[in-house]
Structure 1
Amino acid sequence: MHDPIPSEPELCFDFGITGLGASYHGDWTLDAKDERDHITHLMAQSEGTRALLLLIEDVLRLKRSSLADSEINALWRLTDSSPHDGSPEIGNRVPQWLDDILSVVVPMAEKRGTAKASWSAVERCAQGPKTPESGPNDAVSHEHQMLVTEVADLIQGLKPRQEADISLKEAKGALQRCAETVCSELAFRFTVCAYSAFYARLSRDTYRHMEHISARFGHGPHVVGAVEYLID
């Protein structure tokens, strides 16, 4: 997410691919016939195209990254707040799953009047140092790179109180690689999910630091607020 707008409603709660993963709670099958149908119902609840574009951006960053399928699967599993809670198991069908998401949300965005150029230029976050010629997105990319170390500290600080669908080693490895090679903002949201997935210990100071980082990314108050219950 490289173009935050202050007080933007779509950024108030979790969004993009992390928000999608968390939306597959235990009773999603009551309202949808399959995984793709759930995405359609979820995105239909949003107005305009912003929520759609945020999801498309996340998916494209992952598709165009150097992350292995196993690493993307590990990140996806972290969006499930408790083991086997209902989130689709994508396993060895990572490319297909990412394409399935796009096959639903791209036509919806186009139907709402969004040009393909709105997402076709999405690139990796690491764009090098900021220069006088840098555009707005270059400046945001630079800011995201400046936050890689702080996100990495949160990743290494994970102290599980329960098991998740994947091991802690797999989770930390995938999160670290996402922060370093894809986007620290996207990795941060996956890290917040990881704290829930592992029911990790969270001190008040660490939570406040999370809030600070989240605000720098341009998130609304409830992205981090979702893990406030973990504070010791």
Structure 2
Amino acid sequence: MEFDFGLTALGEQFHMDWRYSGNTPQDVVRGWAEVSGGDEGSPEDVRLLHEDIQLLLASSLSDEELHALWRVAATYYPDFPADGVEPPRGRAWLQDVDREIRPFLREPVDAAPASRGTSASAQSAVCALAERLTPQRELPLEPLPARAVIAAVQRCATEVGAALAFRFLLRAYAAYDSPVAADSWQAFEELNRHFGYGKFLLLTIDYLKEG
């Protein structure tokens, strides 16, 4: 994949003006799925999102860990009641997303897919880069300790898959404006190649490079 995809890419729909795309978070997901899963869209995008969700739902990650991962991908996902309704978190939110996109899957698959990129060396490299995350700001709307995000990324790498954790890690660096030292950038590039991701995925943190 040349660009981001799956759950981390869905997070981009929750920008500052996301309410113009729907009254509720579920509306935003459904609208995205209608476009992506339609005749003029990219059904593969829906399948890849479904795959990410199934991997996370089948994991042992807690609701708080899942919420931490989602929040660094979706910067302006609400953390307050809208019309008296609390936004779903953790597994409840992933199940909502899955329910909204299922009608647009060309070949629905209920079984959790096998994780990819789970070699011990890849896991260790993702975890090491997570430790180097140095927050320069807080997330908008919700103070979420960077330490909780680091721990969630590391758990994702070891319990779910290093390839998925890597995409969340990129989002985490961007969410916290964490600088990327030269040696860290080299490690990001090596992992990006290892997972078979395109060069454009690293644009997420390109502006954070030091030196």
What TM-score, normalized by structure 1, do the two folds share? 0.77
**Paired residue for 2:66?**
72
Tell me, yes or no, if structure 1 residue 108 matches structure 2 residue 104: yes
3-state secondary structure, aligned to 1:230: coil
**Paired residue for 1:87?**
77
Equivalents in 1 of 2:8, 2:59: separation in Å? 17
Aligned residue type for 2:90: V
Equivalents in 1 of 2:209, 2:18: separation in Å? 28
Q: CA deviation at 1:80?
A: 3.7
User: Gaps (5+ residues) in structure 1?
Assistant: 1-10, 126-139
Q: String of CA shifts for 1:155-203, please: whole Å, max 9, x gaps.
A: 0111121123311221111111111111111111111011011110112
In the comparison of the two structures, how many residue pairs are matched? 197
Tell me, yes or no, if structure 1 residue 196 matches structure 2 residue 174: yes
**Paired residue for 2:122?**
147
Q: String of CA shifts for 1:14-63, please: whole Å, max 9, x gaps.
A: 21111111321011111323212211222334324210111001111111
Q: CA RMSD in A?
A: 2.0
Equivalents in 1 of 2:159, 2:21: separation in Å? 37
Equivalents in 1 of 2:16, 2:87: separation in Å? 19
Q: CA deviation at 1:92?
A: 6.4
Q: Is the 8 A contact 2:130 2:169 kept in 1?
A: yes
Counterparts of 1:146-185 in structure 2, within 5 Å, are 146-164=121-139, 165-185=143-163
Aligned residue type for 1:14: D
User: Gaps (5+ residues) in structure 2?
Assistant: 80-85
What TM-score, normalized by structure 2, do the two folds share? 0.84
